[in-house]
Chains A and B, each alone.
Chain A
Amino acid sequence: MLRLININRRLGDFVLSDINLEVSDGQYYVLLGRSGSGKTQLLELIAGLEHPDTGKIFLDDIEITRQRIQDRKVGIVFQDFAVFPHMTVFGNIAYPLRARKEDKKSIADKVEKAATAMNIRHILERSTEKLSGGELQRVALARTLITSPRLLLLDEPLSSLDTSLKDDLKRLLRNLNKEGQTIIHVTHDYGDAISLAKRVGVIHNGKIIQEGSVNEVFNNPSNRFVARYAGIRNFFKVDISREDGLFVGVTEHKVIFKLNGVTPARNNLLLIKSDSIIISNEMPADIELNAFKGKVTEITPSEFGMEVIIDAGDLFYTNILTSEMGKLRLIEGKEVWVSFPSKAIVVINGN
């Protein structure tokens, strides 16, 4: 278990302040924050690349605040991968084993195994010069995992990958975590957080401003900053079943979503981007749409116009342009319809 107690660190104008954090064994902890929020700095403190001004860090009840980087057993994969440019892929992955002076045979076996697991066995003899971002990342990941770190730190691992590679890597990370690897993953993307995290911490201006399970954090954002992650509020945990050959998802408040053209698994989380939700005064004619009758419970100004919250059993959060507001004549307490096409629903594998 990793524990950070009252960590403070000043770097120029930027301050990490009063960071308290506990990450239990086998946890998948996602630290969510914008660039400049201090999330990378926090990772570097945990890895020992930097030291806190005050505060303590414990790993398995042993204090490691001042321990040397190379003795910590905390593996970090950098955002830019930091793959050694003058070595082959094999040389990179074998590096930690060579540093430990393992014998050649055992190094070759372990590298082979790690490369197979990461699906990069075919590029082992290549130089790292012409590898793609995805390949470089796998090299960096294999190189770190081969040290069997107590804790795996990932700095924005998904940010430089295209969509299909992202899904591959997410699957890989999920499996790693399932096998017991404790992971702290830093990202600015709430989608990554929802799809991977068991626990989420939101970091803003050097402070952790909210922490909890994915549901706790995204359904009850503690402040507007957490809430402002676009779309995160339309977030529903559903049971999937089949009705008349059609997949539907049912929330605990019995709101039923039609899921055309999606192939869901069990225990899903549904996500609806707030800008694909339409509000109307009449019931929409198109029966293909998901449409629910509800009551306007709150109207607040937002950066795009107005944020309107509608209670239709579950709460729906929408952004309405100021020009639309006049046409719809929305007021709090008014009955309206919310609707959105099935394809606006993003199905996420819940943990």
Chain B
Amino acid sequence: MILSSLVLLFIIAPLAGMFINTGATQFLETVKDKEVHQSVWLTLWVSFTATFIFSVGAIPFAWLLARKKFPAKNFVQGIIDLPIVLPHTAAGIALLGFISRDGFLGKLASFAGFDLVNHPSGIALAMAFVSLPFLINAARDGFAAVPERLEKAALNLGAGYTKVFFTISLPLAWRSITTGFVMMFARGMSEFGAVVIIAYHPMIAPVLIYERFSSYGLNYARPASVFFILVALLFLIALRLLSFKRKVKYINNDAETY
């Protein structure tokens, strides 16, 4: 009990300290600082877009992982978890080689007329690279929890595979998928290591906080941190609420039918 409280305190204390040490005037000035709120906005929309775009491929992939047996499935699962254990700067370096002008994706982008490095699209890739496992794993667990019998019943009723996926599997796994979506979004938004290697500019909030700290010191980094945390929390709470509403409904359903 005491140990648990200590652990909890360990999480709360630094954050609380930071909030307390930030003066109101300082904070308001930071909020008005165009550079700050631009970077926060950039962080939010790039992470959201990355999550959204990658979910198009990640969600069907998660379904495959939950339902199908295929050779080297454990190996594939290991690869998916790899970004979680890699040092993020190392992930950034690896990704940089891939998206710089000499890399495969970089060349493709040059053809299209833009450069991925120091560009929001590059930031999005860096965020996705380190945060994708959260969405895939959560969605996979969600699909695995949908009784396979319901999918088979739908097939038996004459629906094709795509139809079954969109009308049965996806809606029933929706709670886990939104949770995964929120986690990927949150993880992408807080990413520093991989992003700073791909793009110092345009500055996302974690990079900006680091820059303020290394150039001006703790007192200047603090208000920006507080502002970013507040905005991020607001977003997360909103998304959580959205998925929570559905959660209640599906728990009832599960209990009733299975």
Secondary structure call for the B interface: helix
- Of A70, A81, A84, A128, the contact of B158 (CB 8 Å cutoff): A70
| Residues of chain A contacted by B153 (CB below 8 angstroms) | 76, 78, 82, 84
A70 to B153, CA, bound (A): 10
A147 to B154, CA, bound (A): 12
Tell me which residues from 147 to 180 in chain B have a Cβ below 8 Å from any Cβ of chain A.
Answer: 147, 149-150, 152-160, 163, 167-168, 171-172
Tell me which residues from 120 to 170 in chain B have a Cβ below 8 Å from any Cβ of chain A.
Answer: 147, 149-150, 152-160, 163, 167-168
- In the bound complex, do residue A85 and residue B253 qualify as a contact, i.e. CB atoms below 8 Å apart? yes
Number of interface residues of A (CB under 8 A): 27
- In the bound complex, do residue A70 and residue B150 qualify as a contact, i.e. CB atoms below 8 Å apart? no
Nearest A residue (CB) for B148: A49
Does B254 lie at the interface of the complex (its beta carbon under 8 Å from any beta carbon of A)? yes
Counted as pairs of residues, one from A and one from B, with CB atoms less than 8 Å apart, the total is: 73
- In the bound complex, do residue B152 and residue A99 qualify as a contact, i.e. CB atoms below 8 Å apart? no
User: Would A95 and B257 be within 8 Å (CB), given that A70-B156, A75-B156 are in contact?
Assistant: no
- In the bound complex, do residue A69 and residue B149 qualify as a contact, i.e. CB atoms below 8 Å apart? no
| Residues of chain A contacted by B150 (CB below 8 angstroms) | 82, 84-85
| Residues of chain B contacted by A96 (CB below 8 angstroms) | 157-159
- Of A47, A100, A129, the contact of B253 (CB 8 Å cutoff): A129
Does A83 lie at the interface of the complex (its beta carbon under 8 Å from any beta carbon of B)? yes
- Of B158, B159, B250, the contact of A86 (CB 8 Å cutoff): B250
- In the bound complex, do residue A147 and residue B257 qualify as a contact, i.e. CB atoms below 8 Å apart? no
Nearest A residue (CB) for B258: A80
- In the bound complex, do residue A83 and residue B257 qualify as a contact, i.e. CB atoms below 8 Å apart? yes
- In the bound complex, do residue B160 and residue A80 qualify as a contact, i.e. CB atoms below 8 Å apart? no
- In the bound complex, do residue B157 and residue A99 qualify as a contact, i.e. CB atoms below 8 Å apart? yes
Tell me which residues from 66 to 82 in chain A have a Cβ below 8 Å from any Cβ of chain B.
Answer: 68-70, 74-76, 78, 80-82
Does A224 lie at the interface of the complex (its beta carbon under 8 Å from any beta carbon of B)? no
- Of A69, A128, A130, A144, the contact of B155 (CB 8 Å cutoff): A69
| Residues of chain B contacted by A68 (CB below 8 angstroms) | 155
- In the bound complex, do residue A95 and residue B149 qualify as a contact, i.e. CB atoms below 8 Å apart? no
User: Would A95 and B154 be within 8 Å (CB), given that A70-B160, A84-B168 are in contact?
Assistant: yes
A48 to B172, CA, bound (A): 23
Does A233 lie at the interface of the complex (its beta carbon under 8 Å from any beta carbon of B)? no
- In the bound complex, do residue A99 and residue B163 qualify as a contact, i.e. CB atoms below 8 Å apart? yes
A128 to B150, CA, bound (A): 14
Does B252 lie at the interface of the complex (its beta carbon under 8 Å from any beta carbon of A)? yes
Nearest B residue (CB) for A101: B163
- Of B152, B159, B252, the contact of A129 (CB 8 Å cutoff): B252
A100 to B153, CA, bound (A): 15
Does A143 lie at the interface of the complex (its beta carbon under 8 Å from any beta carbon of B)? yes
- In the bound complex, do residue B154 and residue A86 qualify as a contact, i.e. CB atoms below 8 Å apart? no
- Of A69, A83, A84, A128, the contact of B152 (CB 8 Å cutoff): A69
**Within the complex, what minimum Cβ distance (angstroms) separates A97 from chain B?**
9
Q: Interface code A137-154, partner B: CB below 8 Å = 1, 0 otherwise?
A: 000000110010000000
Q: Interface code A50-76, partner B: CB below 8 Å = 1, 0 otherwise?
A: 000000000000000000111000111
Q: Interface code B223-258, partner A: CB below 8 Å = 1, 0 otherwise?
A: 000000000000000000000000000101110111
Nearest B residue (CB) for A76: B156
- Of A49, A80, A85, A143, the contact of B157 (CB 8 Å cutoff): A143
- In the bound complex, do residue A99 and residue B158 qualify as a contact, i.e. CB atoms below 8 Å apart? yes
Nearest A residue (CB) for B147: A82
| Residues of chain B contacted by A143 (CB below 8 angstroms) | 157
**Within the complex, what minimum Cβ distance (angstroms) separates A94 from chain B?**
10
- In the bound complex, do residue B154 and residue A85 qualify as a contact, i.e. CB atoms below 8 Å apart? no
**Within the complex, what minimum Cβ distance (angstroms) separates B166 from chain A?**
11
| Residues of chain B contacted by A84 (CB below 8 angstroms) | 150, 153-154, 168
A96 to B147, CA, bound (A): 19
A2 to B112, CA, bound (A): 59
| Residues of chain B contacted by A95 (CB below 8 angstroms) | 154, 157, 159, 167
What would be 25 A-B contacts, judged by CB atoms less than 8 Å apart? A49-B155, A49-B156, A69-B152, A69-B155, A70-B155, A70-B160, A80-B257, A81-B257, A82-B149, A82-B152, A83-B257, A84-B154, A85-B250, A86-B172, A86-B250, A86-B253, A95-B159, A95-B167, A96-B157, A99-B157, A128-B253, A129-B253, A130-B256, A143-B157, A144-B157
Given contacts A76-B153, A96-B158, A100-B158, 5 further A-B pairs with CB under 8 A are A70-B159, A78-B153, A81-B257, A84-B168, A128-B257
Closest 6 CB pairs of A and B: A85-B253, A99-B159, A82-B153, A96-B157, A69-B155, A85-B257
